[in-house]
Chains A and B, each alone.
Chain A
Amino acid sequence: KAGVTQTPRYLIKTRGQQVTLSCSPISGHRSVSWYQQTPGQGLQFLFEYFSETQRNKGNFPGRFSGRQFSNSRSEMNVSTLELGDSALYLCASSFLAGGPNEQFFGPGTRLTVL
């Protein structure tokens, strides 16, 4: 079974631009979550989707948004990029949402904002 895939793996953008990251979950998984990983803050939860609906949202500004498609693939978008948005963005999928379900992580997209 193929794992979680994320595209692109690396991105370089400049301040003020916007970016879209893509995540394909493991086949059959209906829940997708997004995280921001930075050396200082660790793993911070962005949002979680299940069956095309946002279940939970972390404490990030409205510049961060996401969506999930009917095939469970998910995208996240960051508008008006700031230097502080430079981070590794991780996507994780699970068969069901919440509860005791462990998550399976993708390799991440490394975003650098110049």
Chain B
Amino acid sequence: AQSVAQPEDQVNVAEGNPLTVKCTYSVSGNPYLFWYVQYPNRGLQFLLKYITGDNLVKGSYGFEAEFNKSQTSFHLKKPSALVSDSALYFCAVRDMNRDDKIIFGKGTRLHILP
């Protein structure tokens, strides 16, 4: 069965520093991977996705994510954090070969400290 793990419930980063939000996954086939963000009192918004090809995926708001097949990871990164990046981040996976339902991680709350 497919699964996704976000090992950190919360990540604190000083403004201007690089940030990483971790995600690992498990699927029987090849994965489609997604990152979504939920700002306070707003719905989830799509950030980026990995389908195939280049392991470094660029998305909205300066975020990027690196697909690592050997480590089954898809960590979200940003070179310089902004206070406005403070939000709840969700990683999600869907098994490409089975076209099964999408599975979301439990979320990581990102706090950017001014």
Contacts and interface: CB of A to CB of B under 8 A. Distances in A.
Interface of A: 4, 33, 35, 41-45, 48, 56-58, 90, 92, 98-100, 102-108
Nearest to A35: B104
6 contacts: A58-B101, A92-B44, A98-B94, A100-B96, A102-B49, A104-B46
A87 B102 CA distance: 20
Contact of B43 (A42, A57, A100, A108): A108
A33 B94 CA distance: 14
Given A43-B104, A106-B43, A108-B43, A100 B32 contact: yes
Contact-residue size bin, chain B (C-beta under 8 Å from the other chain):
20 to 34
B94 A102 contact: no
Nearest to A44: B104
A10 B44 CA distance: 17
Contact of A105 (B32, B44, B49): B44
A57 B44 CA distance: 21
B51 A45 contact: no
Given A45-B102, A105-B44, A99 B107 contact: no
Given A103-B46, A105-B44, A105-B45, A42 B99 contact: no
Given A41-B106, A42-B90, A90-B44, A98 B49 contact: no
B104 A42 contact: yes
Contacts of B101: 45, 48, 56-58
Given A98-B94, A99-B32, A90 B100 contact: no
A56 B104 contact: no
Contact of B104 (A45, A48, A100, A107): A45
B106 A100 contact: no
